[in-house]
Amino acid sequence: MREQLPDFPWDALLPFGEIARAHVGGIIDLSQGTPVDPTPEFIQKAFRDASNSPSYPVTAGTPELRAAIKKWAIQRLGASGDFDVLPLIGSKELVAWLPTILESEKVLIPQIAYPTYHVGALIAQAESIRVDIDARQWPEADLAWLNSPSNPTGRVHSIDEVKAAIAWARGNDAVLICDECYVEFDHTATSFSILSQTGGDNKNILAVHSLSKRSSMAGYRAAFIIGDSMLIARIRELRKHAGMMVALPVQKAMTVALSDDSHVIQQRARYNQRRELLRPALEAVGFRIEFSNSGLYLWCTRDEDAWTSVEWLAQRGILATPGSFYGASGARYIRLAMTATDAQIIDAISRLKA
Ligand SMILES: Cc1ncc(COP(=O)(O)O)c(C=O)c1O
């Protein structure tokens, strides 16, 4: 299997990191979507308070965490009908292992997508097929990924697009999973959960969520899945055998994080403000911004090879990600993450102006 896995994409970016680091003002790294704003203090406190943790945590999650996820799913996401929940060690874990757990043979992934969807299919030795957004054109398969708002483009699916994907899943008796880890970061497009569109019939439908970005908890490894109770029972059963339990202090921190929205509203405002500051500065130097109306990123192009744009920015000390990391159709785009401090974003703008 090792031979089939692609080279880790970020390794190819290392030389451009060196160029950016050599800038007199130092590097402004907008290449990774790794949060830099502090984890809210009340979440840190819940984690610290649970640090005396001699016993094993249970895979299914504490009753308090399960209740908090269910409440959030109903109130925030509009979930209804029968559904179950399961905490995860980060959503990347599920993305990488779901096709293996479900023994999928054909996996549909978006044309431009977070690379781990493809990697997950490779690990399962499944065929991964890139598809356009319109699910009415999708081929038969046993698993399909949606990602809305999207990494890297920030595009939000329309209700009709999500409904077409649900109809595809029902017609093919296939599993449809929506990666919604940016759902809290609306901007000019309103994002919503797939769970609000099932009419309470969640058979074969899953949504995966993460607190990495929502609550700046990427270092905790805290995520969860919501949806079809039978599928979640299957996933839980395998994870019980495989030892993938979420640490108890992390479960406690997740419980309090989900019970508060005010820190999410503040974080959303921070990301949106950074994006709105950076957008005109990029446009002024010839970049065209596409989508980027939700989520964490700016997806842009100067109608040139992505590596040319990456190098141009690196010479100004700004590190961007080439769109080719996300699929061949991203080869003339770059992605910039709003995961830098406000001061760094202001600095990036003055470097672009200079
Ligand atoms: C679309 C998408 N899904 C999943 C993940 C994984 O997030 P985590 O494992 O931190 O929950 C990321 C991380 O950047 C992502 O962009």
Q: Which atom of ligand 1 lies nearest, measured to the CA of 213?
A: 10
Tell me, using a 6 A CB cutoff, whether residue 223 lines ligand 1. Answer: yes
> Mean pLDDT score of the chain, rounded to an integer?
96
More confident residue, 4 or 72: 72
- Distance (angstroms) between ligand 1 centre and the Cα of 75 equals 23
Residue 43's alpha-carbon distances to 71, 104, 216, 217, 259, in angstroms, are 18, 37, 10, 9, 10
Q: Regarding beta strands 223-227 and 84-88, do their DSSP bridges make them parallel or antiparallel, or are they unpaired? A: antiparallel
- What are the structure tokens assigned to 238, written together? 């395998």
Q: Which atom of ligand 1 lies nearest, measured to the CA of 34?
A: 14
Instruction: Tell me what percent of the residues of the chain surpass a pLDDT of 90.
Output: 95
Q: What is the mean pLDDT of residues 85-109?
A: 97
Q: Which amino acid is at 3?
A: E
Given 3.40.50.970, 2.60.40.10, 3.90.1150.10, 3.40.50.1000, which CATH number is that of 9-38+263-353? 3.90.1150.10
> How sure is the predictor about 281, in pLDDT bands with cuts at 50, 70 and 90?
very high
Q: What are the domain boundaries of the chain?
A: 9-38+263-353, 41-258
Interatomic CA distance for residues 68 and 52, integer angstroms: 22
- Phi, psi at 256, each rounded to 5°: -75, -35
Look at residue 229 in the predicted model and tell me its pLDDT. 98
Look at residue 286 in the predicted model and tell me its pLDDT. 98
* Residues composing the chain: 354
Check: CB of residue 314 under 8 Å from CB of residue 278: no
Report the C-alpha dihedral over residues 78, 81, 87, 92, rounded to 10 degrees.
Answer: -70
> How sure is the predictor about 3, in pLDDT bands with cuts at 50, 70 and 90?
low
Q: With 60 as the cut, is the pLDDT of residue 2 above it?
A: no
Q: What is the mean pLDDT of residues 209-229?
A: 98
> How sure is the predictor about 9, in pLDDT bands with cuts at 50, 70 and 90?
confident
Q: Which atom of ligand 1 lies nearest, measured to the CA of 93?
A: 9
Q: Which of 229, 228, 222 is nearest to 245 (CA)?
A: 222
Q: Which atom of ligand 1 lies nearest, measured to the CA of 150?
A: 1
- What are the structure tokens assigned to 259, written together? 């019970």
Q: For 290-340, how does the pLDDT look when each residue is reduced to its tens digit (9 = 90+)?
A: 999 999 999 999 999 999 999 999 999 999 999 999 999 999 999 999 999
Given 3.40.640.10, 3.10.310.10, 3.30.530.20, 3.30.1330.20, which CATH number is that of 41-258? 3.40.640.10
Look at residue 103 in the predicted model and tell me its pLDDT. 97
Q: What is the mean pLDDT of residues 72-80?
A: 98
Tell me, using a 6 A CB cutoff, whether residue 91 lines ligand 1. Answer: yes
Look at residue 289 in the predicted model and tell me its pLDDT. 98
Look at residue 6 in the predicted model and tell me its pLDDT. 77
Look at residue 237 in the predicted model and tell me its pLDDT. 96
Look at residue 287 in the predicted model and tell me its pLDDT. 98
Q: What is the mean pLDDT of residues 118-132?
A: 96
Tell me, using a 6 A CB cutoff, whether residue 211 lines ligand 1. Answer: no
Tell me, using a 6 A CB cutoff, whether residue 181 lines ligand 1. Answer: yes
Look at residue 10 in the predicted model and tell me its pLDDT. 83
Helix (H) or strand (E) holding 318: strand 318-319
Residues 6 or more apart whose Cβ sits within 8 Å of residue 204: 169, 170, 173, 174, 175, 176, 228, 231
Q: pTM value?
A: 0.97
Q: For 175-198, how does the pLDDT look when each residue is reduced to its tens digit (9 = 90+)?
A: 999 999 999 998 888 999 999 999
Look at residue 79 in the predicted model and tell me its pLDDT. 98
Q: Which of 297, 290, 300 is nearest to 332 (CA)?
A: 300
Interatomic CA distance for residues 41 and 325, integer angstroms: 35
Q: How many CB atoms lie within 10 A of CB 294?
A: 27
Give me the residue label for tokens 């290449």: 31
Q: Which of 170, 345, 334 is nearest to 273 (CA)?
A: 345
Instruction: DSSP for 159-198, please give it.
Output: HHHHHHHHHHHHHHT-EEEEE-TTTT-BSSS----GGGGS
Tell me, using a 6 A CB cutoff, whether residue 151 lines ligand 1. Answer: yes
> How sure is the predictor about 5, in pLDDT bands with cuts at 50, 70 and 90?
confident
- What are the structure tokens assigned to 34, written together? 């790794």
Query: Which of 210, 215, 294 to mutate to test ligand 1, by most ligand atoms within 8 A of the CB atom?
Result: 210
